[in-house]
Structure 1
Amino acid sequence: MTTNVPAPATTSRVPGLRGAHHIAFTVPDLDEAVAFFTGVLGAEEAYRTGPIAADDDWMRRQLGVDPRATVQIAMLRLGAALNVELFEYTGPGRRRQMPRNSDVGGHHLALWTDDFEGSVRHLTATPGVRMLGEPQEVGEGPIRGTRWVYLTTPWGLHLELVHAPPHQPYEDHTDVRLYRPRAPHEGRGT
């Protein structure tokens, strides 16, 4: 019999936390970003909401933005296990430049592909997508054999395409396994 006994307050883990629900990106144009995620990456749009605004200090208190800001939101499903929330804000004081990967707050969205070369061809043929450097393969270390390349979307969001062999060297030294999507015929991802 399993009981739901709360963990002691001294635990280092968040009670009830099972995993990520979504990632979110603020984009300059919601329609353009949704079109890219659905038309190019194959995401499905779940819903849109907004514009959301408040006549008081709610936007600052709840979202950490200027109280006069407004926001429109789209929630998408990308692949078997990723929800992506896209925000388009208006309001004073907004920076319009994407952070570099080396900047605090820098980020990228890494996407698994079973067809690395085909994915590279598809994305680089998409207007406005730019590949940074050339595709790489890790030659040694814990993820030897992993192939990757960085690209940018038309508005500057960094993407990474990733493909790795079925077994990676780090797996010889730990029971921890990184999630990797499985093809539909392979069953659940691990």
Structure 2
Amino acid sequence: MTTIRGIEHIGITVPDHDAAIAFFKAAFGAEEMFSQTKTNGGPFPAEQIGPKNGLRPGTAMMRVTVLRLQNGPNVEIFEIDRPGGTPEANISDFGISHFSVNVTDIDAAIAAFCRAGGALLEGPYHLAAPEDGPGNKGIFGRTPWGLLIEIQQLPAAMTYFDAASAERWIPED
């Protein structure tokens, strides 16, 4: 049986590749690692790569870049010529609704997120069990293209209930 080591990257389809790269750099200090399209050309039509990654027929990957997001999964940014779906998925929709970024200073992270063009929802708020603890706070915000991102500050240990079978992974400093 294969042992899972962790999530290596998440893929995000955006309406404007360059604007998304700029947002992640400004909001989270992301570093550009490599670009598939700079290295291998492009665009990549669905007829060429769809059998490998499920790209919908009649579309093409225009630009693809992988970002390093500090001490956590990498982020792969896709620009598709005719994307489907809605840009503002949320927790009540099927599929991945958001991802969370763990930070050491939520106020500084919020300021950077907003300066980069993000819009906040209500908060920050104190987290409830099992995430409760002194200084544990969270807030959700949307990127300029509508992606929901959660920002969490977790300086206190998690509360583990008797039924907990494992401890939560938290990125190290």
TM-score w.r.t. structure 2 length? 0.82
- Does 1:138 find its partner at 2:130? no
Structure 2 alignment gaps of length 5 or more: none
One-letter amino acid of the structure 1 residue matched with residue 131 of structure 2: I
DSSP-derived class of the 2:124 partner: strand
One-letter amino acid of the structure 2 residue matched with residue 128 of structure 1: G
Change (3 A) 1:138 1:166: closer
**Residue number in structure 1 paired with 2:15:** 28
Structure (1 or 2) with the larger CA radius of gyration: 1
Change (3 A) 1:60 1:82: closer
How far residue 16 of structure 1 moved from its aligned partner, in angstroms, is 4.0
CA distance in 2, matches of 1:144, 1:16: 30
How far residue 37 of structure 1 moved from its aligned partner, in angstroms, is 0.9
- Runs of 4 or more, structure 1, over 4 Å off, are 171-175
Task: Compute the RMSD of aligned alpha carbons.
Answer: 2.3
**Residue number in structure 2 paired with 1:87:** 78
CA distance in 2, matches of 1:171, 1:118: 31
One-letter amino acid of the structure 2 residue matched with residue 143 of structure 1: E
**Residue number in structure 2 paired with 1:121:** 111
CA distance in 1, matches of 2:90, 2:52: 26
Match of 2:137 among 147, 152, 169: 147
**Residue number in structure 2 paired with 1:160:** 150
In 1, are the aligned partners of 2:16 and 2:79 still within 8 Å (CA)?
yes
How far residue 173 of structure 1 moved from its aligned partner, in angstroms, is 5.9
CA distance in 2, matches of 1:40, 1:128: 8
CA distance in 1, matches of 2:143, 2:9: 19
One-letter amino acid of the structure 1 residue matched with residue 138 of structure 2: W
Instruction: Figure out how many residues of one structure are paired with residues of the other and give that number.
Output: 166
Matches within 5 A, 1:100-119: 100-119=90-109
